[in-house]
Amino acid sequence: MLSFPDWTFLFQIALFLFLWNFLRRFLFEPNFNVLKSRDERSAGALKEASTIKAEVEAMGEQYRTRLTEARTGASQQVDLIYKEAETEAQSVIDAARTEAMIIVAQMRNNLQQEISEARRALGERTDDFSREIAQKLLGRSLT
């Protein structure tokens, strides 16, 4: 006959509580910590990638703005030279037109050189940007 405070039942409860605490401390909590740190790293990497993407987009916009300003400045200088040439006497108009065309050609040549230099500089840095983004996304250096 069993009495209520059956010692085997109480022993099973104590064993269960001991096993539960042992598993919680040495199995469940370390696994939860690993999962939590993995989630934090993933979120951090995604945030860093979006920050880098925003920086790259800002640099691209800055490049386009500078290019527009350079074109506008060159266009304004050409217009100024052309207006000054119109106001001179008829005998000076031919010489002024020739000079203006030379200046325009030089400015266009300079502008083309600046544009190609800017494109080349950004082209050279594209690999660095890509490598840096990849390293930050992967969290390790690339070989």
What is the band of 32 on the pLDDT scale with cuts at 50, 70, 90?
A: very high
In sequence order, the 6+-apart residues with CB closer than 8 A to the CB of 58 are none
What is the band of 3 on the pLDDT scale with cuts at 50, 70, 90?
A: low
96 in Cβ contact with 85 (< 8 Å) = yes
Cα separations (Å) of 108 from 4, 39, 56, 124?
Answer: 102, 54, 28, 24
Query: pLDDT for 52-103, tens place per residue?
Result: 999 999 999 999 999 999 999 889 988 888 777 677 677 777 887 899 999 9
Looking at residues 117-142, what average pLDDT do you find? 86
